[in-house]
Amino acid sequence: MENILSSKMMDNWEEHFYQDGESALFNSVTEMEACSEWIPGICAKDIRLQAIDGRPMFLEEEVRQYHLPSADLTEETALLGTDLLIYTGVPSRTGSLQTYELVRNTAMDGIGAVAKLYGSALSRMDKSLYVETMNNAFSVAKGTALGLMRYGKLSGLQSGADGGYMIMPISKLLDIAADCLTRRFRTAEMVNGYNTHGFTSALWKLPDAQNRLVEMYQDALQRSGNASQYAVNYMPAVDFHSSDTKASCAVLDPVFILPSGVPVHFIEGVRIKHLKRGQARDTDGLKLFAEAADNIYAKFEATAEAIQNLSTVKIYHPANCVIKLCRAFHIPPKYGQAAYDEAERIALGNSYITAHDLYIAMNEILAEAERCDASANVINNLEESLMRIVRCDFSEHDIGGVVAWKDENNT
Q: Is residue 405 part of a domain?
A: no
Q: Is residue 291 part of a domain?
A: yes
290, 310, 330 - which closes a domain: 310
Report the candidate in 273, 16, 296, 15 with the shortest Cα–Cα distance to residue 178: 296
Q: Do residues 279 and 197 both lie within one domain?
A: yes
Q: Is residue 13 part of a domain?
A: no
Q: What is the number of domains present in the chain? A: 3
310, 335, 350 - which closes a domain: 310
How does residue 3 score in pLDDT terms, banded at 50, 70 and 90? Answer: very low
pLDDT of residue 307: 98
Q: Do residues 303 and 318 both lie within one domain?
A: no
Question: pLDDT per residue over 288-319, tens digit each?
Answer: 999 999 999 999 999 999 999 999 999 999 99
Going along 22-73, which residue ranges are E strands?
A: 36-43, 48-51
Q: Do residues 321 and 306 both lie within one domain?
A: no
Q: Do residues 260 and 355 both lie within one domain?
A: no
Buried b or exposed e, range 268-299, using 16+ CB within 10 angstroms: ebbebbbbbeebeeeeebbebbbebbeebeeb
Give the whole-angstrom CA distance, residue 341 versus residue 385. Answer: 19
Give the whole-angstrom CA distance, residue 386 versus residue 329. Answer: 8
Averaged pLDDT for residues 256-281? 85
User: What's the mean per-residue pLDDT of the chain?
Assistant: 92
Q: Is residue 175 part of a domain?
A: no
Question: pLDDT per residue over 208-228, tens digit each?
Answer: 999 999 999 999 999 999 999
Residue 5 pLDDT > 60: yes
310, 332, 351 - which closes a domain: 310
Give the whole-angstrom CA distance, residue 246 versus residue 168. Answer: 12
pLDDT of residue 203: 97
Question: pLDDT per residue over 115-158, tens digit each?
Answer: 999 888 998 999 999 999 999 999 999 999 999 999 999 999 99
Domain that holds residue 322: 314-397
Sign of CA dihedral 267, 106, 17, 35: negative
Give the whole-angstrom CA distance, residue 194 versus residue 165. Answer: 24
Report the candidate in 200, 191, 292 with the shortest Cα–Cα distance to residue 235: 191
pTM: 0.91
pLDDT of residue 411: 41
Q: Is residue 218 part of a domain?
A: yes
